[in-house]
């Protein structure tokens, strides 16, 4: 029986549970035995000119090895000339927007690295960093995307504007003029912290001209590419090792300026260095997510048909342009969601502000698209007085229209949107919930019930042509080793890849080792982001397994003196046989031993023709205390269809985590600044990270609509939970108080915000 689709518990767990993982700060290797600690001196002000740096007092402290600033970076070539225009890639913008490694003469956000202090131990580093005297001459600050686009204060005067990338929304009003009903709304998709439990961490060592960098990253090979470019080294002079990684969520794609600076400092000083950021550093200096201001306009007929939709996005980039215009680009690409809307207009501007740079965070542009269209659907439904689930059903792209080309240029592969909705509503008991809501409304219960629906589609493996690599080696002891270019940080790659190999080769999982994240062993690879691992990395493993099998068949045929066509592999036993002759049997060890090198190797890459588009529906049930504004999640029901499921244990885990991060944004989390650009949420005592009592257990329903774009039939599942859950919960909160006249509440729906919305709606209805 095939192992595919069965509930296999993880091979990773016993080590993590009994000995703990080996994260960067846990690495104990001879090269790092004498490693010094590196501590950053970071800007305490949001925008200022640096007029002087005096390290003399710090240098006189015990244990201080060095204090380095940008003036010491004379061994680095200046950045290549660039127009500063966005080329469509997720690379940082250059030219006037270029971000230095350490501040040159200006700081642009609280937390920006200004200098590094090298000490023998960690406590000395914290002491000495405080003693580096930096003179700041404050500059006026730009906060919020709306202020940024006004261009009254410029972060980069040489650029002449704060708007780094503009892809203006078309403003054709004719389709809206033809509608019975048009609704408009400003929506804030607030800035949130990515918050992997392990912050960023780096160690670096230079030995015999080769630089080894241990990094908490989502992709070793991309990290090496970035480091080589920044340090002016050939890629083969650098080895990047990605050990266990304590969560990434998009914020650890590649490496950022902090890690490059550490690698540079280790090379400069010829001394191994270690750094693991504190949470207070993490909450100001790791990239953050979302941060969009959206204006939406939706129009349609009174019978529930949506005819036109417009979204105008202002993306807050933070102080520096880390990943081009990728986030608002994806928001615009996915703007129409699951709906067949005749006219869609989407555009964006991306502007810099004196805040922490924005980057990818679980969903990266797609949750923002879904939040906007799903809020728009509910606003439209409320306006025409129709059940929001019914409005969705009337506008879905029909299942017979796939592959479906959207008005914004996406090619959806497969989808059964109405089925997902119906299933989610059935599991939730939607009609009974509406009945309970009516009862509470009629009785004037202070605790009102809200039911929120969100139907979503998202794009996974958005860069399918980049592909992924896999190498499988079966040796003459019968075991297999898988080298993957994909990169695990909690998803369960090691279990999943071993399942794929066992299924194809019949080698038992406990005889299969999976290796990731070492550029000496795996020079080519792309890594993990955009929910790409299984469909690209898993398909590559599958492809490599097939190639190994072909080679093995050739050897087995020779050994058995049979035609290749007559030699078969029994995957239940892992034995090669001549068809119909059970007495002939060769083990993998025997077959591998027959090859000249004593092992069978396949080294492949898998490229997918197009991205895939998972979909589903989430139903959120909340209780809102109308006297205090407190929201309590009662239930969360989801149908998430990401094609064929390899291992339900792993996909459910991805869905659970995704739902929780969506709930976190909908109800709790927001990165805040005061009027001077000082972060107000720079510790976990201040940032409202979601915790266990905030959440219910989740109710997951199964749905599998395979894609034909890869041999496994799979799509990505890493981000779907977040994309679906966020607007479902937000819609549920608004729904709970919609009978009081409330139409919209921005996220996070904190008690204060909900109470204020209720109070204002009551005031308006009394006037």
Interface residues with other proteins (CB under 8 A) are 9-10, 12-14, 16-23, 25-26, 28, 122-123, 195-199, 244-247, 249, 276, 278-280, 489-492, 649-650, 652-653, 656-661, 683-685, 689, 691-693, 695, 697-698, 721
- Rounded to an integer, what distance in angstroms lies between the CA atom of residue 165 and that of residue 184? 25
**Nearest-approach distance from CB 470 to other proteins, in angstroms:** 22
User: Which of 329, 687 has the CB closer to other proteins?
Assistant: 687
User: Residue 13: CB partners within 8 Å, gap ≥ 6?
Assistant: none
Do you find a cis peptide bond into 759, omega within 30 degrees of 0? Answer: no
Instruction: Quote the CA–CA distance of 670 and 747 in Å, as a whole number.
Output: 8
We find the least distance from the C-beta atom of residue 660 to other proteins, in angstroms, to be 3
Q: Based on CB atoms, which residue is closest to other proteins, 347 or 653? A: 653
Which long-range contacts does 579-588 make (Cβ < 8 Å, 24+ apart)?
A: 584/560, 586/556, 586/559, 586/560, 587/478, 588/474, 588/478, 588/480, 588/505, 588/506, 588/507, 588/552
By beta-carbon proximity to other proteins, the closer residue of 61 and 520 is: 61
Could you tell me the smallest distance in angstroms from the CB atom of residue 322 to other proteins?
21
Give which of 288, 321, 286, 262 is closest to 84, Cα–Cα: 321
Which CB, 473 or 652, lies closer to other proteins? 652
Integer Cα distance of 219 and 250 in angstroms:
11
Q: Which of 274, 543 has the CB closer to other proteins?
A: 274
DSSP string spanning 159-170? GSSSEEEEEPPP
CB proximity list for 701: less than 8 A, separation 6 or greater:
423, 424, 427, 637, 638, 639
CB of 9 or CB of 146, closer to other proteins: 9
The DSSP symbol for 749 reads -
Residue 390 DSSP label = H
Among residues 246 and 741, whose Cβ is nearest to other proteins?
246
Q: Sign of torsion, CA 687 690 693 695?
A: positive
CA dist., res. 493 & res. 654, Å (int): 12
- Block residue for tokens 């190797």: 601
Task: Tell me the CA end-to-end span of the chain in Å, nearest whole number.
Answer: 70
Query: Are the C-beta atoms of 191 and 679 separated by less than 8 Å?
Result: no
Least distance (Å) between residue 665 CB and other proteins: 13
> CA-to-CA distance for 278 and 110, rounded, in angstroms?
15
Query: Judged by CB, which is closer to other proteins: 14, or 138?
Result: 14
In the numeric block, the tokens 């075991």 are attached to 479
Which residue's CB is nearer to other proteins, number 181 or number 684? 684
Question: To the nearest whole angstrom, how small is the minimum distance from the Cβ of residue 484 to other proteins?
Answer: 17
**What's the closest the beta carbon of residue 17 comes to other proteins, in angstroms?**
4
- Of 7 and 74, nearer to other proteins (C-beta) is 7
Between residues 241 and 381, which has the closer beta carbon with respect to other proteins?
241
CB nearer to other proteins: give 273 or 560: 273
Comparing CB distances to other proteins, the nearer of 18 and 443 is 18
468-475 β-sheet, strand order: 512-516, 480-484, 468-475, 599-606
Q: How far is the CB of 724 from other proteins (least distance, A)?
A: 13
Least distance to other proteins, CB of residue 663, Å: 8
- Nearer CB in complex with other proteins: 26/445: 26
Evaluate whether 14 touches 89 at the Cβ level (below 8 Å). no
Q: Where are the alpha helices (DSSP H) in 237-357?
A: 257-269, 279-285, 326-333
Q: Residues in the chain, how many?
A: 767
Closest to 180 in 3D by CA, of 338, 304, 295:
304
Q: How far is the CB of 667 from other proteins (least distance, A)?
A: 13
Least CB distance to other proteins at residue 456 (A): 17
d(CA 611, CA 608): 7
The Cα 734–Cα 379 span in angstroms is: 10
Phi-psi region of 462 (alpha: psi -120 to 50; beta: other; left: phi over 0): alpha
3-class DSSP state for residue 288? strand
Q: Least distance to other proteins from the beta carbon of 278, Å? A: 5
Q: What number of CA atoms fall less than 13 Å from residue 89's CA on the CB side?
A: 7
Label the pairing between strands 133-138 and 163-167. unpaired
Contact 407, 416 (CB under 8 A): no
The minimum distance between CB 489 and other proteins, in angstroms, equals 5
Query: Which helix (DSSP H) or strand (DSSP E) does residue 225 occupy?
Result: helix 220-231
What whole-number distance in Å separates Cα of residue 359 and Cα of residue 374? 23
Q: Which residue, 42 or 543, is less far from other proteins as judged by CB?
A: 42
CB of 633 to other proteins, least distance (A): 11
Shortest distance, CB of residue 126 to other proteins, whole angstroms?
A: 10
Q: CB of 276: closest distance to other proteins in angstroms?
A: 8
HSE (side-chain half, CA atoms, 13 Å) at 639: 25
């Amino acid at each position: 029986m095939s192992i595919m689709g069965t509930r296999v518990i993880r091979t990773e767990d016993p080590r993590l549970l009994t000995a703990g993982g080996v994260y960067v700060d846990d690495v104990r290797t001879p090269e790092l035995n004498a490693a010094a600690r590196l501590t950053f001196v970071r800007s305490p002000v949001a925008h200022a000119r640096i007029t002087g740096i005096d390290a003399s007092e710090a240098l006189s402290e015990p244990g201080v090895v060095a204090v380095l600033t940008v003036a010491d970076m004379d061994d680095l070539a200046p950045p290549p000339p660039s127009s500063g225009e966005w080329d469509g890639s997720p690379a940082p913008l250059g030219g006037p927007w270029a971000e230095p490694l350490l501040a040159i003469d200006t700081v642009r956000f609280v937390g920006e690295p200004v200098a590094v202090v090298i000490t023998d131990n960690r406590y000395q580093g914290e002491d000495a960093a405080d003693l580096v005297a930096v003179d700041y001459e404050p500059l006026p600050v730009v906060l919020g995307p709306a202020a940024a686009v006004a261009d009254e204060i410029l972060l980069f005067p040489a650029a002449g504007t704060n708007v780094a990338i503009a892809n203006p929304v078309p403003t054709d009003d004719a389709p809206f003029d033809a509608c019975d009903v048009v609704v408009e709304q400003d929506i804030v998709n607030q800035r949130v912290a990515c918050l992997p439990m392990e912050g960023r961490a780096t160690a670096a060592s230079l030995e015999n001209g080769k630089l080894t960098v241990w990094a908490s990253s989502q992709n070793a090979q991309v990290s090496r590419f970035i480091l080589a470019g920044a340090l002016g080294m050939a890629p083969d002079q650098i080895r990047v090792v990605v050990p266990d990684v304590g969560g990434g969520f998009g914020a650890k794609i590649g490496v950022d300026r902090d890690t490059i600076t550490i690698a540079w400092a280790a090379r400069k000083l010829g001394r191994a260095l270690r750094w693991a950021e504190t949470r207070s550093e993490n909450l100001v200096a790791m990239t953050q997510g979302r941060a969009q201001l959206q204006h939406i306009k939706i129009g349609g007929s009174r019978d529930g048909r949506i005819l036109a939709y417009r979204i105008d996005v202002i993306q807050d980039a933070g102080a520096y342009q880390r990943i081009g215009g990728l986030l608002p680009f994806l928001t615009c690409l996915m703007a129409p969601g699951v709906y067949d809307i005749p006219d869609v207009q989407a555009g964006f501007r991306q502007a810099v502000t004196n805040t922490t740079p924005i980057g990818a965070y679980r969903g990266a542009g797609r949750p923002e698209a879904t939040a906007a269209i799903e809020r728009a659907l509910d606003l439209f439904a409320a306006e025409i007085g129709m059940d929001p689930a019914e409005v969705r059903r009337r506008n879905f792209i029909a299942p017979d229209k796939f592959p479906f080309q959207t008005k914004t240029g996406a090619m959806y592969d497969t989808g059964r949107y109405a089925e997902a909705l119906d299933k989610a509503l059935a599991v939730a008991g939607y009609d009974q919930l509406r009945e309970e809501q009516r009862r509470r409304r009629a009785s004037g219960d202070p605790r009102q019930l809200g039911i929120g629906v969100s139907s979503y589609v998202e794009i996974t493996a958005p860069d399918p042509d980049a592909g992924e690599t896999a190498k499988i080696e079966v040796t003459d002891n019968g075991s297999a080793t898988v080298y993957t270019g994909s990169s695990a940080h909690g998803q369960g790659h090691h279990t999943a890849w071993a399942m794929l190999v066992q299924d194809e080769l019949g080698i038992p999982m406990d005889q299969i080792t999976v290796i990731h994240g070492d550029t000496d062993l795996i020079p080519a690879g792309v890594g993990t982001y955009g929910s790409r691992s299984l469909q690209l990395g898993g398909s590559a493993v599958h492809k490599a397994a097939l190639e190994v099998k072909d080679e093995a068949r050739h050897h087995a045929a020779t050994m058995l003196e049979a035609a290749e066509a007559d030699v078969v592999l029994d995957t239940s036993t892992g034995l090669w046989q001549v068809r119909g002759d059970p007495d002939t049997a060769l083990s993998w060890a025997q077959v591998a031993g027959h090859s000249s090198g004593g092992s069978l190797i396949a080294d492949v890459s898998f490229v997918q023709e197009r991205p895939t588009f998972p979909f589903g529906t989430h139903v959120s049930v909340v209780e809102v205390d109308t006297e205090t504004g407190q929201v309590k999640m009662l239930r969360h029901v989801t149908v998430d269809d990401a094609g064929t499921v390899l291992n339900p244990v792993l996909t459910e885990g991805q869905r659970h985590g995704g739902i929780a991060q969506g709930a976190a944004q909908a109800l709790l989390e927001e990165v805040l600044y005061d009027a001077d650009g000082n972060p107000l949420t720079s510790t976990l005592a201040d940032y409202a990270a979601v915790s266990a009592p905030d959440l219910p257990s989740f109710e997951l329903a199964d749905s599998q609509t395979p894609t034909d774009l890869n041999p496994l039939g799979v799509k990505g599942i890493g981000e779907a939970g977040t994309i679906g859950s966020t607007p479902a919960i937000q819609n549920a909160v608004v729904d709970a108080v919609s009978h009081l006249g409330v139409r919209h509440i921005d996220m996070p729906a904190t008690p204060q915000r909900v109470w204020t919305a209720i109070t204002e709606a009551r005031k308006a209805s009394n006037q």
